[in-house]
Every structure is written in structure tokens, then in C-alpha cells.
Amino acid sequence: MKDIIDGFLKFQREAFVERSELFKQLANHQNPRALFISCSDSRLVPELVTQREPGDLFVIRNAGNIVPSFGPEPGGVSATVEYAIAVLGVEDIVICGHSDCGAMTAVATCQCLDHLPAVAHWLRYADAARHITEAGEYATERDRINAMVRENVIAQLTNIKTHPSVALALSQGKVKLHGWVYDIASGSIDALDGNTRQFVSLADNPQVTATPASPSF
């Protein structure tokens, strides 16, 4: 804990001073242009990976970068998505998985989660991705896990489109969807091409989105 407090003191002494004008502007208003949904994993820091400043990203983080389908009892993720779209008017939604994801590893390898009932319940929202992954053939367990990470990003993109605010914004062309997978070791990102349903290098294809040109996705 001492390291965390020391970090805050350094922030207050250095980083805050350097960005004092920015924080004055943000004191009573925010205008993020993107909603970034990522895993809670400590190795993936959205603002670091995207080199964004405070106020640039509206962030949701949870185990497995999951977005439950919209239902009669919306939870915190649903409320945050709705606020980002209907109030803040974000123009892009990124769902970002990552390599070596503990949540997706547990699902892909059928780990017993009886001792973690809340986690087991939460990961049921990745069932669609699990079924697709189980139907595939893989040379190694690592390949299976990597496939699960990607299928989960696709599944959560499908889930988020069931939210009324997102469905409306998509129909009006006011928002675009992005599906990313961040590789911890290399720092690279693969992004889902909504037209081909394949993941491609974001560095080589910076314009790619998960929103297809046709409505068939």
C-alpha cells in the first residue's frame, strides 16, 4: 500500500501540476469520445495502451471484458453503457480482450469454479463463445485459449447490440463498434474486421472496425 500512496504523492507533486490546466477544464465537465470496455486484468491499462489523457475514455473494466445482454434487471455494465451512449454521446465503443486472460482460460479449459460461484455465474455470459470454441480443433491448449479470447470479443459485441441505446445509435450511424485483442508480450493489437469476421493487425489496418459495411453481421 505504501507504493500506491507514494505514487499518489508523486502524481500530486508532478503529473497533476503538469496537467493543471487540463484538470481545471475537466473539473465540471467530461466529453469522452469513446467507451472502452476491457478486462480488469492489471496488465491491461486502457489509457496507457491508447496513450489517452484523463477525460478521453469512458471505461468499463470487469473480469473477461463482458457485456451482459440487455434484460429486465440491468446491472452496472448496462447502466454505464446507456449513460455513455445516451448522455455522453460517445462515437466509438471498443471491447478489448487480451492474451493470457485468466477468465477466458478458465472457460476454455473447463476449470472447476465451484469455489468461485460469483465468477462462475458471471462467466456464463461467455457461453456463446465457449460453445463456438469447443467446436473447433486446436494444435495446443494455448491456441484454444487464444481462440476463446477472440470469440468472446465477438460474443460481447453481439451482446452490446441488444442494448436499446446502442441499437438506436447504430441504426442512426452515430456509433461504431470495435473488437480488439491486446497481446501483452508484444504490445500489439489485433482488431476484428466486421466485413470478413477475421482479426487483423490494427497497426496495418488502422481504419478497420467491427461495424460491417452491410447489415449481415
Which residues belong to the active site? Answer: 39, 41, 43, 98, 101
Q: Is 102 exposed, middle or buried (0-12, 13-18, 19+ CB in 10 A)?
A: middle
